Amino acid sequence: MDFVELVIDGRIDIDRDDLEDALNEALVGRGEVTGAGTSEYGSHLDVDVLVTADRRAVLDAVFGVLAALDLGDSVRVRPGDGQTWIRPGQWTRTTRAGRA
């Protein structure tokens, strides 16, 4: 995993720039938001992740920001170039089950 993509496809009560700032703070030394945009499907953020960064720690940080900002499942996350999208509610269940 050398990037994470976030898609905001539901209503959120904060500005996308505030989400970007919070992600950058949480990912210091591991990665940073490098792109953002809007399409007919919603808004998105691209996060470049250092190759040496621990995958689990990066995803925990991303989902921690989403939880702290109380965004619920209005955002979905795709780690790396896989086809799997994860909602914050799914990450909680996944981590409790010991998978990710």
For the beta carbon of residue 74, count every other beta carbon within 10 angstroms.
17
What local confidence, expressed as pLDDT, does residue 97 receive? 46
Q: What pTM was estimated for this model as a whole?
A: 0.88
pLDDT number for residue 51: 93
pLDDT value at residue 81: 78
Residue 96 is predicted with a pLDDT of: 47
Q: In a structure prediction context, what are the per-residue pLDDT tens digits for the chain, which is 100 residues long?
A: 689 999 999 889 999 999 999 999 999 999 999 999 988 888 999 999 999 999 999 999 999 999 999 999 999 999 987 899 999 999 975 554 454 4
Query: How many domains are contained in the chain?
Result: 1
Burial grade of 59 (CB within 10 A; 0-12, 13-18, 19 or more)? buried
- CA distance linking residue 31 with residue 9, whole number of Å: 23
> Would you tell me how many other CB atoms lie within 10 Å of the CB of residue 15?
9
Beta-carbon contacts of 74 under 8 Å, excluding residues fewer than 6 positions away, are 8, 9, 10, 11, 12
Q: What is the CATH number of the domain that holds 52?
A: 3.30.70
CA distances from residue 16 to 9, 27, 74, 80 in whole angstroms, order as listed: 12, 17, 12, 21
Domain that holds residue 43: 3-96
Which residue has 């896989």 as its token pair? 82
